[in-house]
């Protein structure tokens, strides 16, 4: 076993071993999964679906002449997602360990395909169409990145955590993993998908942190990546404008600052108890994207401080449970996968709340389980299935 480093509390996370060596590749039933984790997932999905119905009804009625447009499709995606979750909880960690490189390679090909045959929307080319359906490969990239980094560190922990040979620790612990992260991030950057780039970068750094590598090297590469993203944001006209509006949205009430100002008004007008379910005023052509990125503002307006905190607590309980599952897992691959998925959800929740409260510039980050969407929701349930599968061998009571 590797010695614990005082510099990185996660250094003991990796113990060289093969994931669940005595486990089957597939389980026949869902028996043994963590019921608490499952209940939290279903509660979040139910709360999100109900909120989409309330927040999206006026906008759907105005744009599509059908107030049920969003909820009808969201229910379909939730049902599909739950089906995907039930399927993805059957394979064991051994299966995901073996297929991780294939998923990573497929993701690279999909991201390259976007640049060639992708369809554009809102000034960016990020989607691939298959018949009437469209999906964002960047959503697949998040899961693939977690799996490939988890496998990489499980295989190379002896070199990555080598305290005697700094060259090994540098190459295997930071440089090679950053190349895996960078390949995906560069392709996402070419799609002008800044929010996706930020989330992928955060996911990569979190998995690296959880692996227990040297914080010195991680800080160096992480700092370099942060400087690169900042330079991109300040040198690109599109992102420079967003930063300008973020610093003073009141100066641009009808030209960029509208969404932020109306969202803040919705949050503030909810008070302590809220206006009541379905009684939001600002979802009527005031708050932009009320069923998508700004859905939390409508939730605040209708359920008030109590509802807003309640949802935040629900997310916190889910993340806490997922982290406990990871820490109780018997092999490093399973441990890092759980911590990576929990970290991804935490990052997206925190960034979404930061955007809607104007704490950071508006980057169009969705709220997991709540924001309307297809591929993102299905991939989220896919990750939940993997979490539940791993929970079989991580008893936490």
Of the two residues 143 and 214, the one the predictor is more confident about is 143
- Confidence (pLDDT) at 122: 63
338: nearest Cα among 360, 321, 323: 323
HEC letters along 225-279: HHHHHHHHHHHCHHHHHHHHHHHCHHHCCCCCCHHHHHHHHHHHHCCCCCCCCCC
- What tens digit of pLDDT does each residue of 179-204 get? 999 999 999 988 888 888 889 999 99
pLDDT in tens, 334-390: 999 999 999 999 999 999 999 999 998 888 889 999 999 888 999 999 999 999 999
pLDDT of 16 = 46
Helices (H), 292-331: 295-328
Report the pLDDT value the prediction gives residue 177, as an integer from 0 to 100.
93
Task: Please report where in the chains the tokens 């309330």 appear, as a residue.
Answer: 54
Residues 18 and 155: their CA atoms lie apart, in Å, by: 8
Please state the rounded mean pLDDT for residues 210-230: 82
Helix (H), strand (E) at residue 126: strand 124-130
pLDDT attached to residue 6 = 47
User: Does the pLDDT of residue 252 top 50, yes or no?
Assistant: yes
Exposed, middle or buried: residue 106 (CB in 10 Å: 0-12, 13-18, 19+)? middle
- Would you state the structure tokens that stand for residue 294, as one six-digit string? 């700004």
CA distance 38 to 113: 35
Classify 68 as helix, strand or coil. Answer: coil
Structure tokens at 291: 């069923």
Q: In the predicted model, is pLDDT for residue 21 greater than 60?
A: no
Residue 280, H or E segment: none
pLDDT value, residue 13: 47
**Cα torsion 104, 380, 181, 3: sign:** negative
- Per-residue pLDDT, 326: 93
**Sequence-ordered list of residues with C-beta below 8 angstroms from that of 117, at least 6 positions apart, any chain:** 128
Helices (H), the chain: 35-64, 69-88, 93-117, 137-160, 166-170, 176-190, 194-211, 215-235, 237-247, 258-269, 295-328, 332-356, 375-391
pLDDT at 397: 60
Domain chopping of the chain, boundaries = 17-391
pLDDT of residue 121: 67
Percent of the chain having pLDDT more than 70? 92
C-beta of residue 65 within 8 angstroms of C-beta of residue 309: no
| End-to-end CA separation in angstroms for the chain | 26
Q: Of 270, 305, 298, 296, whose CA–CA distance to 284 is shortest?
A: 298
Whole-angstrom distance, CA of residue 37 vs CA of residue 43 = 10
Neighbours of 176 (CB within 10 A): 14
Q: Please compute the mean of the pLDDT values over residues 285-312 and round it to a whole number.
A: 93
pTM: 0.91
């Amino acid at each position: 076993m590797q010695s614990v480093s005082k510099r990185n509390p996660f250094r003991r996370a990796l113990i060289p071993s093969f994931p669940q060596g005595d486990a089957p590749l597939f389980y026949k039933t869902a028996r043994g999964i963590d019921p608490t984790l499952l209940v939290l997932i279903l509660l979040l999905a139910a709360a999100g679906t109900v909120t989409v119905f309330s927040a999206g009804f006026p906008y759907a009625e105005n744009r599509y002449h059908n107030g049920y447009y969003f909820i009808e499709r969201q229910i379909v995606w939730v049902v599909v997602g739950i089906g995907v979750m039930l399927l993805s909880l059957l394979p064991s960690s051994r299966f995901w360990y073996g297929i991780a490189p294939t998923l990573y390679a497929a993701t690279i090909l999909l991201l390259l395909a976007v640049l060639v045959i992708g369809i554009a929307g809102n000034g960016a080319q990020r989607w691939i169409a298959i018949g009437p359906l469209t999906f964002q490969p960047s959503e697949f990239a998040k899961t693939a990145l977690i799996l490939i980094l988890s496998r990489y560190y499980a295989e190379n922990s002896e070199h990555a955590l080598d305290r005697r040979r700094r060259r090994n620790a540098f190459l295997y612990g930071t440089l090679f993993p950053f190349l895996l992260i960078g390949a995906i991030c560069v392709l996402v950057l070419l799609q002008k998908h800044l929010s996706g780039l930020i989330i992928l970068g955060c996911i990569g750094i979190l998995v690296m942190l959880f692996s227990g590598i040297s914080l010195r090297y991680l800080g160096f590469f992480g700092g370099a990546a942060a400087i690169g993203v900042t330079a991109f944001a300040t040198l690109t006209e599109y992102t420079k404008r967003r930063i300008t509006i973020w610093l003073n949205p009141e100066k641009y009430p009808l030209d960029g600052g509208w969404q932020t100002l109306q969202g803040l008004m919705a949050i503030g007008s909810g008070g302590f108890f809220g206006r009541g379910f379905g009684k939001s005023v600002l979802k009527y052509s005031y708050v932009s994207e009320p069923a998508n990125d700004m859905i939390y503002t409508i939730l605040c307006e209708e359920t008030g401080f109590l509802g807003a905190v309640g949802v935040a607590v629900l997310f916190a309980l889910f993340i806490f449970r997922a982290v406990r599952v990871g820490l109780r897992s018997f092999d490093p691959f399973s441990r890092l996968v759980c911590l990576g998925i929990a970290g991804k959800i935490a990052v997206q929740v925190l960034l979404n709340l930061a955007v809607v409260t104007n704490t950071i510039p508006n980057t169009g980050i969705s709220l997991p389980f709540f924001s309307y969407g297809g591929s993102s929701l299905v991939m989220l349930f896919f990750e939940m299935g993997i979490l539940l599968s791993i929970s079989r061998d991580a008893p936490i009571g």
